[in-house]
Amino acid sequence: MPGLNEQNSPPLTASEAAAKLDGCQYRDEGSRALFSHMRASALVAVYGASDDLVMLSGAINDELGASTIHLGQKGLIRNRCEEERCPYHAEELKGAATIEPLFAENGVTWSYRTAIPHETFRVMEDDEIYCQGIVFALSDIHQAMVKA
Residue 74: predicted pLDDT: 84
User: pLDDT tens digits, residue range 121-146?
Assistant: 999 999 999 999 999 999 999 999 87
Q: Is the pTM of this model over 0.95?
A: no
**Type of residue at 29:** E
User: pLDDT tens digits, residue range 101-128?
Assistant: 999 998 899 999 999 999 999 999 999 9
CA 148/CA 145 separation, integer angstroms: 9
Q: Is 4 left (phi over 0), alpha (psi -120 to 50) or beta?
A: beta
Mean pLDDT estimate for the chain: 89
Residue 147: predicted pLDDT: 60
Indicate the range of 58-62, 77-81, 98-102 predicted with least confidence: 77-81
User: Which residues are 110's β-sheet partners?
Assistant: 103, 131
Residue 139: predicted pLDDT: 95
Residue 2: predicted pLDDT: 39
Torsion of Cα atoms, 100 then 16 then 139 then 98, to 10°: 0
In the chain, % of residues over pLDDT 70: 94
Residue 85: predicted pLDDT: 78
Once rounded to an integer, what is the mean pLDDT over residues 31-46? 97
Residue 8 has pLDDT above 80, yes or no: no
